[in-house]
Structure 1
Amino acid sequence: MSSPSYYASILCKYLLIIGVVATFFIVVFFNLTYISSQYVDSNIFTIKCEETGPKETTTNLSHLMFVLVGSSSAWKHRRTYIESWWRPNVTRGNIFMDVEPSEEFRPWSPTFPPFKVNEDLRKLSIYPKLANQVHIRIYRSILETYRLQQDDGVRWYVMGDDDSLFFVDNIVDVLSKYDHTEKRYIGMFSESTKSNFRLAFEMAYGGGGYALSYPLVEALVAKLDECIEKYHFIWAGDKLQSYCLADLGADLIPEKGFHQMDLRGDLSGLLSSHPTAPLLSLHHFDAVAPLFPGMNRHGSVLQIMKAANVDQSRMLQQSICYVRASNWTFSVSWGYSAHVYENIFPRSYLKLPIETFRPWLRGWFPFYMFNTRRVSRNPCEAPHWFFFDSIEQVDGGVVTSYTRKFIRNMTSCSFSCDISADPLASIRVFSPITPKEVSSSHDGEEPPLQEEQIDEVEVPEQQIDDILLIDPHNHEYEDITDDATDEAVEDEFNENDDVSSNDENVDVSD
């Protein structure tokens, strides 16, 4: 039988073990509590620092770097395109050319972007194997821009050609939607099905323009020459670009406002039914007819910029309204055209472009990446065409005028009770001041139409326009009765259907 001293020693050992274990848990517990409290305090301190630090400004025009490309031989007849939208000392960027401009353009005009001559590609070891040396010269302009070290505060690179027409305020609006600290590749594919089939459906076309966020530019330039060597067999520079960006994890984000304009002939049908998206660019002016009847290409570009310099957010945005008394439909593409139909048509029909244009390439059907409606000789389907003529500032807004450039040469439509729109000579559209225009005014005064300066951009809500029909023989305008301005309803359409992009008030003179 064990002695009491034996049990006492066993008890002491157990107590010692329990004490050691308890001490260990106490030490660990208090250390974890201390670390946790320090972590929480650190987080609180960090949050306070973020809240009291300066907030990042909204993206504006100074955050964009334009990388424009062209050739010296084409500059003589293409300079007007860039000059129409470039804002000296405001827009940032350069135009890269193959050789020095001719003496005709010396000294270089301050109304042009600064010019740079591209580096000699022959220094590249892969040069003899390049499938398209011209496209590679153009493509490397991104790298050469980066090496100029002019990127202070730049958030986006915007690429374009010397015959690209950019609507820079709208580009700022659109890019403001995206996080410029992430890798973003924003542009649009071609209007031509065959072009996309031959090249790529998930590729931005450089002529229509595309934007790269600055982090993506930094990642790209580090690998650009290596990527050229890897894909030297690719003929189209834009396709090579899409491959390089895909390898960096950046896929195309489509924006419908970029227009490569892979079309031929008369674009009026397309421009009169633009998608519900901000107009960002137009391209290929040398391959299409002038945008306005009776004007050359350069004059047409200057004409469309008259409206764009006042309010780019409205450009080509379609407004539709109806006049019950005469059974007419009005469709206005702001800043470009107005159509009068002697019949009632819903928006689902009017948003389809009239196929006044031809395919870019011969090939198979379908030709286009969008639906169209054919040109019609039916007086109940064919519109009366009016084209943008002028813009003026009035109290509370602006008025755009659209004039008839040619007669329709058709009988009146029986659905309109034989009330012909032939006597109409012009249409005036009143547009209220947008929030953008209000924010740019100074001391309560509205800014001059051609000198709009935008520091911060807000995307305005769609506005309501008043359409005034002007009879050439009567310049005394009278308000018509309220019931004549109600939205007209055709038998097959429900009265509550939404058939207009904007509600319109229509005044028709006798």
Structure 2
Amino acid sequence: MTFPLPVLSLGARNVCELLFIFGLITYLICVSLPNDYHKSKVFVPKVEPQTNFNHVVFGLLGSEKALHDRKHYIESWWRPNVTRGVLYLDKAPTGDLMPWSDTLLPFRVSDDLTKLLQETKARCPKNIRMVHGIMEVVRDMRDTNIRWVVMGDGDTIFFVENIIDVLGGFDYRKYYYLGGQSEYIMANYRYSFNQGFGGAGFILSYPLAKALASDMENCLRRYALFFASDTTTMSCIADIGVNLSPHKGFHQIDLRGDLSGFLSSHPKSPLLSLHHLDTVKPIFPVLDRHQSIRHLMEAATADQSRILQQTICYHKQSNWSLSISWGYSAHIYEEIMPRSYLQKPRETFKPWSPRTSRPLYMFNTRLPSNDSCHDPHVFFFEKVDKVSMGILTTYSRANPRGLPPCSLTSQYKPDLISHITVLSPPIKRKEMDRCECCDVVVMGGTDTSVEVKLRECGLNEVIA
């Protein structure tokens, strides 16, 4: 069966012709417009800037009495007119703290919490003040650009460039609670394995900080009998439904004595903070505590991304292993030793509290040795120079090792080495999935010297 085609009336044909002519005119007008007109009409999604210094605020809690000595710690990392934050003191500063120095972040006196303390019969008033400080930072630093709130103590040393780089990998619009555990296993057991220890510093995404601040006084009432501010903070955050995201770059330093073994085998994570440096020996043997921190910051200023990062190298001709803790120390072992062994910190330090049974720490360690083949020649960071090929760090011998050589037949004499130079690339490292590789040159004879050049590893390079 066939169907007859519809026959348009004269009026319908006129309408179709008019529509065709209108469409043709519209098309000609569009194609004749300049390209810029079309581009202006194309929807371009807004690209947000990478996390930078303007997006991060620091909230420090300290006492006026302690600040007279601890202000040097703050001055070592704070960058006037670059970093943002507030230092909350228990009372107004006096004496040599006034007039207030531009090298310190602005201060405020913490809120008077007398009424809340009386109502709650708080077990530790200092604890309440420390936790309440989070709410004060959110209130006092209200800004639509803020993405992250970093909390710490007056003696916390932050590595702000590394913090910015690490935070750039997180979505600031979500709830995040970043921090580190104590190095001392019993401290985590007594308080919590799931809390960020406040001396090392912890970081809250701004949405989480605002949520925490909005319920702060109710939470402080719920946990008024808690003794530790870190545990209170963790509990308040847990009530919102958020848990700690641990990061190995935060360091509470719940250790005693000689910290060099710990700092010479830093985890493969950007260094974010150091705390409790008043409780250990100066980290450089010939300098005092304040000089030591300034000295470490000289290297950090040249390249924060590599500071303390451990690179293990081998010089097969001499049968040596080298361990470089960038910007801090360099070790030479007179034997080829597995990387997995050298990555364990030498136990030059002691636990926070006396304890006879192990485990003591939250990481594996290796004991110092009197074996000439296993005990290293130790060199400490001396200076840093920017050269045409990159950054040159120099490490000088601390003290004579006081042991005979591992091999009496080797043509290389490590006891004659006074300095080690390390050349690193001029660009910072952002990816920490793999350590760097290196090339080692040892010049023998009476003027023995060691030169190390750091580089990215080959795709399938075996570096054992």
**How high is the TM-score relative to the length of structure 1?**
0.77
Counterpart of 1:398 in structure 2 is 391
Kept in 2: contact 1:427–1:468 (CA 8 A): no
1:231 maps to 2:223: yes
Counterpart of 2:160 in structure 1 is 168
Q: SS of 1:74's equivalent?
A: helix
How far residue 418 of structure 1 moved from its aligned partner, in angstroms, is 7.8
The separation in 2 between residues aligned to 1:175 and 1:478, in whole angstroms, is 35
Counterpart of 1:357 in structure 2 is 349
Counterpart of 2:37 in structure 1 is none
Kept in 1: contact 2:59–2:151 (CA 8 A): yes
Number of paired residues?
417
AA at the equivalent of 2:348: T
The separation in 1 between residues aligned to 2:186 and 2:204, in whole angstroms, is 26
**How high is the TM-score relative to the length of structure 2?**
0.85
1:106 maps to 2:101: no
- Segment drifting more, 338-347 vs 118-127: 118-127
Kept in 1: contact 2:261–2:345 (CA 8 A): yes
Which digits, 9 at most, give the CA deviation of each residue in 1:277-336, with x for residues without a partner?
100000001111100001110000001000101111001111111112211111100000
Counterpart of 1:191 in structure 2 is 183
Aligned pairs (5 A) from 1:242-391 = 242-363=234-355, 364-391=357-384
Counterpart of 2:425 in structure 1 is 432
Counterpart of 1:218 in structure 2 is 210
- Segment drifting more, 51-60 vs 137-146: 51-60
Aligned pairs (5 A) from 1:113-124 = 113-124=105-116
Correspondence for 1:143 among 103, 126, 135: 135
The separation in 2 between residues aligned to 1:407 and 1:136, in whole angstroms, is 50
Q: SS of 1:52's equivalent?
A: coil
Counterpart of 1:412 in structure 2 is 405
How far residue 467 of structure 1 moved from its aligned partner, in angstroms, is 4.9
Which digits, 9 at most, give the CA deviation of each residue in 1:242-291, with x for residues without a partner?
00000101100011000011101111001100011100000001111100
Kept in 2: contact 1:342–1:416 (CA 8 A): no
Kept in 2: contact 1:326–1:416 (CA 8 A): no
Counterpart of 2:14 in structure 1 is none
Counterpart of 1:83 in structure 2 is 75
The separation in 1 between residues aligned to 2:335 and 2:451, in whole angstroms, is 23
Q: SS of 1:414's equivalent?
A: coil
The separation in 1 between residues aligned to 2:265 and 2:409, in whole angstroms, is 23
Give structure 2 stretches of 5+ with no counterpart: 1-39
The separation in 2 between residues aligned to 1:423 and 1:97, in whole angstroms, is 52
AA at the equivalent of 1:407: P
Kept in 1: contact 2:437–2:463 (CA 8 A): no
| Change beyond 3 A, Cα 1:471–1:66 | farther
| Change beyond 3 A, Cα 1:305–1:477 | closer
Q: Which runs of 4+ in 1 moved over 2 A?
A: 48-51, 125-128, 149-152, 414-420, 458-479, 496-500
Kept in 1: contact 2:314–2:440 (CA 8 A): no
How far residue 365 of structure 1 moved from its aligned partner, in angstroms, is 1.5
Kept in 1: contact 2:320–2:333 (CA 8 A): yes
Q: SS of 1:390's equivalent?
A: strand
AA at the equivalent of 1:231: Y
Q: SS of 2:372's equivalent?
A: coil
How far residue 388 of structure 1 moved from its aligned partner, in angstroms, is 0.3
The separation in 1 between residues aligned to 2:74 and 2:349, in whole angstroms, is 24
Q: Percent identity?
A: 45
| Change beyond 3 A, Cα 1:192–1:225 | same
| Change beyond 3 A, Cα 1:68–1:329 | same
Kept in 2: contact 1:187–1:211 (CA 8 A): yes
| Change beyond 3 A, Cα 1:127–1:166 | farther
The separation in 2 between residues aligned to 1:248 and 1:186, in whole angstroms, is 15
AA at the equivalent of 1:369: M
Kept in 2: contact 1:342–1:415 (CA 8 A): no
Kept in 2: contact 1:327–1:416 (CA 8 A): no
Q: Pick the structure with greater CA Rg.
A: 1
Kept in 2: contact 1:265–1:358 (CA 8 A): yes
How far residue 51 of structure 1 moved from its aligned partner, in angstroms, is 5.1
The separation in 2 between residues aligned to 1:194 and 1:50, in whole angstroms, is 60
| Change beyond 3 A, Cα 1:351–1:232 | same
Counterpart of 1:74 in structure 2 is 66
Give structure 1 stretches of 5+ with no counterpart: 1-47, 437-457, 480-486, 488-495, 501-510
CA RMSD of aligned residues (A): 2.5
Q: SS of 1:259's equivalent?
A: coil
- Segment drifting more, 225-234 vs 101-110: 101-110
The separation in 2 between residues aligned to 1:399 and 1:312, in whole angstroms, is 14
How far residue 54 of structure 1 moved from its aligned partner, in angstroms, is 2.1
1:181 maps to 2:173: yes
The separation in 2 between residues aligned to 1:257 and 1:168, in whole angstroms, is 12
| Change beyond 3 A, Cα 1:340–1:211 | same
Which digits, 9 at most, give the CA deviation of each residue in 1:171-210, with x for residues without a partner?
1111111110001101111111000000000000011011
Correspondence for 2:415 among 402, 417, 422: 422
How far residue 53 of structure 1 moved from its aligned partner, in angstroms, is 3.7
AA at the equivalent of 2:202: Y
Which digits, 9 at most, give the CA deviation of each residue in 1:321-356, with x for residues without a partner?
111221111110000000000001111110000000
| Change beyond 3 A, Cα 1:125–1:358 | closer
Kept in 2: contact 1:428–1:468 (CA 8 A): no
Kept in 1: contact 2:420–2:450 (CA 8 A): no
Which digits, 9 at most, give the CA deviation of each residue in 1:413-469, with x for residues without a partner?
139748441100000000111157xxxxxxxxxxxxxxxxxxxxx658865555565
1:201 maps to 2:185: no
AA at the equivalent of 1:383: P
